[in-house]
Structure formats: C-alpha cells, structure tokens
Amino acid sequence: MSWRTTGLKESDVAEGSLHAVAVDGNAVVLVRVAGGLRAVQGACPHIGGDLGDGTVEQGRITCPLHGAVFDLLSGQVLADPFGVTPPEGAVEPLAGYPVRVVDGTVEVDLPAT
C-alpha cells in the first residue's frame, strides 16, 4: 500500500457528496459518510459502472448502471442488480481504501501497482 494525494481539500468533501478522482491512474470515489471520509473503488464491481455518477443515501452508494447498492463503510453488497439476496449474488463487495488528511489535503492508501 502507498499513500497518494487526491488533490482534494478535506473541506471540499461535504456530507453525502461524491467526488470522483483519478489517483495515479486509479479511479477512486471520495465521500463523507457518518462524519468521516471514505474512499472506495471508482468502478462498480458488477460491470464497471462509474460510481462517481452514482448516488449516496444513508451511508449507501448506488451504481447508476444497474442499481447495485453497497454499504460505504463495509463495502458489503446490499442489493444485487439481478435480484439475488446478498451475499449469494454474483457481485463482489466494494473495495475501500484507508484515508488520511495531511495539511488539509485528502490522501488515500492504494495497493502498490
């Protein structure tokens, strides 16, 4: 894992708003949920929908393509687009990344490439 800057200030990330950023070629979505910052993979694990275009509600993110729903804190699949009751569906959990703030700027700890 390696800490990398997102280029966003902590104050830029309001509660419930999505910020899609590219961090060293990795699509990442930043969101403030339950008062804390959370970073998750930017592509839906179902078929790669852009989660930056999704919606956030009550600590959940919904993919704009097929409606897969994930818990932003755990990454758990809450609604499978095929109607299968999780965790039995074919959709993988959403990957999350550690977040920290250094001098007011948000950084994420991404896997080494």
Q: What is the pTM of this model?
A: 0.90
Task: Give the three-state DSSP class for 108.
Answer: strand
CB 63 within 8 A of CB 45: no
Digit-coded pLDDT (tens) for 44-89: 998 899 999 999 999 999 999 989 999 999 999 998 887 777 777 7
Burial class (CB in 10 A: 0-12, 13-18, 19+), 67: middle
CATH hierarchy code of domain 2-110: 2.102.10.10
Domain definitions of the chain by residue range:
2-110
